[in-house]
């Protein structure tokens, strides 16, 4: 899911997402509740009408953003200052549900406690308990039958806590399950066992969503373990700064060797940008701070990730997923692929 934090993927319009074949995007409850506010969005037909977006929308609860602000936390909820104007706001699990219902997303996420890693076991355990308490309240508060609600599994990199959190969240009966608090700086060798522990307790007949993860290796490895949904700012953030995702790895478009390159960003890519413009031209736009450069690389990067997900789907059907995993690892983490032990 491309990340449209404030109701739009940065530098792109809804029509761009349609052209890319995107079916669902993510929007952020924290930012939308502050500006322009859930009231206005509801009056304008919800997020779909407001953004003129006919696809699906998932709104996260805003918990990650709130906890990045060092809020005052208690069992009832969180108190925090707006990053926009410094005003004080209160958010409870019930508030997060009501705001997301008014915004009108197709899928909303329960408010959770996002633990900064590394953290000692007692802190992780306490945050799991609080997240479970908030999840039960969110589930009870949810009223819209046309909107799914997902619970979120926490527990840091502790496999036992992850399994317990998943098992008890499932018992609350959500429509799907997010796995939060991973890929926040911990080594992949610590992330994957925690992910596997959570997935082992989540039902096969409900969506399983690994939150905030979007690099190519994590995508293919997550799918191999049973993940269904991902979101990440990586493709768009890199694109705005001139880093290109290609079939041979990352390309830094600012490098001097691209100045005379008349070929596309990626010869293996069939996106609209690669079909028309050269690396040389796009580098020029980037070097003179022409805003369209970031937009065009963003379009390409989203097309690259979309094509990778399509290849993963085909590989599952064809029984060649392990071969694709090896190919992606060799391209994006060659040292690890060469030394798998």
Instruction: Please name which of 201, 221, 117 lies closest in space to residue 153, comparing C-alpha atoms.
Output: 201
Domain locations in the chain? Answer: 14-232, 233-341
Burial class of residue 88 in the structure, from the number of CB atoms within 10 Å of its CB (0-12 exposed, 13-18 middle, 19+ buried): exposed
In this structure, the strands spanning 243-246 and 249-252 are: antiparallel
The predicted model scores a pTM of 0.95
Alpha-carbon gap, residue 3 to 232, rounded angstroms: 6
By DSSP bridging, strand 24-28 and strand 176-179 are unpaired
Alpha-carbon gap, residue 186 to 204, rounded angstroms: 27
Query: Domain 14-232 class?
Result: alpha beta
> CA dihedral defined by 251, 254, 258, 259, rounded to 10 degrees?
170
CB atoms closer than 10 angstroms to residue 27 = 25
Pairing of strands 78-81, 72-73: antiparallel
Closest by CA to 183, choosing from 174, 173, 192, 175, is 192
> Distance of CA 23 to CAs 33, 55, 308, Å?
24, 5, 15
Q: Is 25 buried (19+), middle (13-18) or exposed (0-12) by CB count in 10 A?
A: buried
Tens digit of pLDDT at every position of the chain (341 positions): 999 999 999 999 999 999 999 999 999 999 999 999 999 999 999 999 999 999 999 999 988 888 888 899 999 999 999 999 999 999 999 999 999 999 999 999 999 999 989 999 999 999 999 999 999 999 999 999 999 999 999 999 999 999 999 999 999 999 999 999 998 889 999 999 999 999 999 999 999 999 999 999 999 999 999 999 999 999 999 999 999 999 999 999 999 999 999 999 999 999 999 999 999 999 999 999 999 999 999 999 999 999 999 999 999 999 999 999 999 999 999 865 655 44
Catalytic residues: 60, 231
Q: Is 198 left (phi over 0), alpha (psi -120 to 50) or beta?
A: alpha
């Amino acid at each position: 899911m491309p990340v449209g934090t404030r109701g739009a993927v940065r530098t792109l319009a809804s029509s761009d997402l349609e052209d890319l074949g995107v079916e669902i995007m993510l929007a952020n409850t924290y930012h939308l509740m502050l500006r322009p506010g859930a009231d206005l969005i509801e009056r304008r037909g919800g997020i779909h009408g407001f953004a003129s977006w006919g696809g699906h929308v998932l709104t996260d609860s805003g918990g990650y953003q709130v906890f990045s602000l060092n809020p005052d936390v208690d069992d009832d909820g969180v108190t925090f200052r707006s990053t926009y104007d410094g005003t004080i706001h209160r958010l409870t699990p019930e508030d997060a549900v009501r705001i997301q219902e008014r915004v009108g997303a197709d899928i909303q996420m329960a408010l959770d406690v996002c633990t900064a890693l590394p953290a000692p076991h007692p802190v992780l355990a306490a945050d799991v308990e609080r997240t479970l308490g908030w999840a039960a309240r969110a589930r009870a508060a949810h009223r819209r039958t046309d909107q799914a609600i997902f619970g979120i599994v926490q527990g840091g990199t502790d496999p036992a806590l992850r399994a317990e959190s998943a098992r008890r969240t499932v018992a609350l009966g959500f429509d799907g399950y997010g796995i939060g608090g991973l890929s926040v700086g911990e080594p992949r060798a610590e992330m994957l066992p925690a992910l596997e522990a959570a997935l082992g307790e989540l039902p096969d007949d409900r969506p399983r969503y690994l939150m905030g993860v979007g690099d190519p290796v994590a995508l293919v490895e997550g799918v191999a373990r049973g993940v269904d949904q991902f979101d990440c700012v990586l493709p768009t953030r890199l694109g705005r700064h001139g880093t290109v995702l290609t079939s041979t790895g990352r390309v830094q478009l600012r490098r001097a060797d691209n100045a005379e390159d008349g070929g596309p960003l990626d010869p293996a890519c069939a996106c609209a940008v690669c079909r028309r413009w050269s690396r040389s031209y796009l580098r020029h736009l980037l070097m003179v701070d022409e805003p369209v450069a970031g937009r065009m690389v963003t379009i390409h990067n989203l097309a690259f990730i979309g094509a990778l997900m399509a290849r993963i789907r085909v590989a599952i059907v064809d029984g060649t997923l392990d071969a694709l995993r090896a190919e992606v690892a060799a391209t994006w983490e060659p040292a690890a692929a060469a030394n798998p032990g």
